């Protein structure tokens, strides 16, 4: 055990060094980077499909998506006309800073305003790895139950936004939305919460407004820093 803990700390320390460099690069280029994290099947790819479908083609947006195997998500997202890269981790249950660094090296001249990182489906491992993002966003579908924030507090504590997905299923599942929100705020009192359905479009506008506000806030912050 004494050899495992120092090794883990070394890995996380090296990842933090890379993440800090990535964040500095994003801020210097006025790029908003968002890290989407959820259990498998909560709807990260579907949310990105809906988001890309609503964004103007003139927007400079790109996606890096991670998965244990296959490039299915990248193929789904590429049809919307924005640059997409798939990272196949080969069994690793999270993305790390080095993976993102390598992916971005394939776009050396890309002028981006918004970068989405779709992390590997997992609520545990990705919470420990900073990717240089401006914010972590955690997704939770209504089929997963109210107690997920209490069972997996680390990611909910670090997330700026909770998106409760598939709310069109609420008539068919025994779920208390107020309980989800209360549990999430018990872990993280400042977390923002949006409920949406990509199938019906309910809440999608609120999500797009949140994106616009984060982009505006990032631009305002970097402009003040340059003065």
With pLDDT > 70 as the criterion, what percentage of the chain qualifies? 94
DSSP class per residue in the chain: -TTHHHHHHHHHHHHHHHHHHHHHHHHHTT-EEEEEEESTTSSHHHHHHHHHHHS-TTS-EEEEEEESS-SHHHHHHHTTSS-EEEEE-TT-SS--HHHHHHHHHT-TT---SEEEEE--S-SSGGGG---S-SEEEEEEEGGG-TTHHHHSHHHHHH-SEEEEE-GGGGGGS---HHHHHHHHHHH-TT-EEEE--TTT-TTHHHHHHHHHHHHHHHHHHHHHHH-
Confidence of residue 4 (pLDDT cuts 50, 70, 90): low
Confidence check: pLDDT of 3 > 60: no
pLDDT number for residue 111: 87
Confidence of residue 91 (pLDDT cuts 50, 70, 90): confident
Average pLDDT over residues 86-114: 92
Let me know if residue 18 belongs to a domain. Answer: no
Let me know if residue 4 belongs to a domain. Answer: no
The model's pLDDT over 6-36, given as tens digits with 9 standing for 90+, comes to 766 777 899 999 999 999 999 999 999 999 9
Domain count, the chain: 1
Other Cβ atoms within 10 Å of 13 Cβ, number? 9
Let me know if residue 8 belongs to a domain. Answer: no
pLDDT number for residue 173: 94
The model's pLDDT over 124-181, given as tens digits with 9 standing for 90+, comes to 999 999 999 999 999 999 999 999 999 999 999 999 999 999 999 999 999 999 999 9
pLDDT number for residue 199: 97
pLDDT number for residue 225: 63
φ, ψ at 128 (rounded to 5°): -85, -10
Confidence check: pLDDT of 223 > 70: no
Let me know if residue 154 belongs to a domain. Answer: yes
CA distance 142 to 179: 11
Query: Pairing relation of β-strands 61-67 and 114-118?
Result: parallel
Q: What are the structure tokens assigned to 36, written together?
A: 């989407």
| Residue ranges making up the domain that contains 195 | 28-226
Residue 67 pairs in a beta bridge with 88
Mean confidence (pLDDT) of the chain: 92
Let me know if residue 77 belongs to a domain. Answer: yes
Q: When comparing pLDDT for 173 and 219, which is higher?
A: 173
Token pair 């789904």 in the structure block, residue: 76
φ, ψ at 166 (rounded to 5°): 65, 40
Average pLDDT over residues 185-191: 98
Let me know if residue 17 belongs to a domain. Answer: no
CATH number at residue 159: 3.40.50.300
Q: When comparing pLDDT for 110 and 224, which is higher?
A: 110
Let me know if residue 21 belongs to a domain. Answer: no
């Amino acid at each position: 055990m004494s050899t495992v803990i120092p090794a883990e700390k070394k890995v996380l320390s090296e990842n933090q060094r890379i993440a800090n460099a990535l964040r500095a690069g994003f801020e210097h280029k006025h790029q908003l980077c968002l890290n989407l994290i959820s259990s498998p099947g909560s709807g990260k790819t579907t949310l990105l499909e809906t988001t890309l479908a609503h964004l103007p083609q003139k927007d400079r947006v790109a996606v890096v998506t991670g998965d244990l195997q296959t490039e299915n998500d990248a193929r789904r997202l590429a049809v919307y006309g924005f640059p997409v890269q798939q990272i196949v981790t080969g069994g690793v249950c999270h993305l790390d800073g080095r993976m993102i660094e390598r992916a971005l090296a394939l776009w050396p001249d890309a002028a981006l305003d918004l970068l989405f990182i779709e992390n590997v489906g997992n609520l545990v491992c990705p919470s420990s790895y900073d990717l240089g993002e401006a914010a972590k966003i955690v997704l939770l579908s209504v089929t997963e139950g109210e107690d997920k924030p209490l069972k997996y507090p680390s990611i909910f504590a670090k997330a700026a936004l909770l998106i409760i997905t598939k709310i069109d299923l609420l008539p068919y599942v025994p779920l208390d939305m107020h309980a989800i929100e209360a549990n999430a705020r018990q872990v993280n009192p400042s977390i923002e919460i949006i409920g949406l359905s990509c199938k019906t479009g309910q809440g999608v506008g609120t999500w797009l407004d949140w994106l616009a506000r984060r982009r505006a806030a990032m631009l305002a912050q970097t402009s003040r820093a340059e003065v």
